[in-house]
Amino acid sequence: MSKGRGGLGLVVEAIRSLFEKPVTRDYPASEEVVETIRGMPVLHSEKCVGCGLCERSCPSGAITMVVVGKRKIGNKEVPLRNPRFDYFRCIYCGICSEVCPRGAIEMVKKFGLIYTSKGGEK
């Protein structure tokens, strides 16, 4: 099998990329806050009324409403629902925080390593 010019072009591009600066920034060595991040959504459950606006407005579908108990409205008991965040699907846009009528969702700027090595070291 002979390799065409396409294969050579890939090799040239790979060598060129070795000497270019990376497009992304390195993960911070410490838990320093980077000014350009919006943060991650955190729920203050005592403020949440379970309206579901956050779930309906989430562009990535990272929020689902889950039943966490019951509350009494008049003479009826109805399920109390709170949002659950799927941080792997979340795009950290902050829309859920903006649409929440009670301010129950806050965008918190914090870091943490999301993996560990096989030995359990971070």
Where exactly are the structural domains of the chain? 5-108
CA angle 36–29–118, rounded 5-degree value: 120
Cα(90)–Cα(20) distance, integer angstroms = 30
* Tokens matching residue 117: 């090595």
Class of the 5-108 domain? Answer: alpha beta
Predicted local confidence at residue 41, as pLDDT = 94
Q: Are 49 and 80 in contact (CB under 8 A)?
A: no
Distance CA 114, CA 11 (A): 33
> What pLDDT shows up at residue 30?
58
pLDDT tens profile 29-56: 655 566 777 889 999 999 999 999 999 9
How far is residue 114 CA from its own chain's centroid? Answer: 12
The pairing of beta strand 63-73 with beta strand 105-108: unpaired
**Among candidates 56, 52, 63, which has minimal Cα distance to 91?**
63
In terms of C-beta density within 10 A (0-12 exposed, 13-18 middle, 19 or more buried), how is residue 112 classed? exposed
How many Cβ atoms from other residues are within 10 Å of residue 77's Cβ? 11
For position 119, what pLDDT does the model report?
60
pLDDT tens-place string over residues 77-117: 999 999 999 999 999 999 999 999 999 999 998 765 555 55
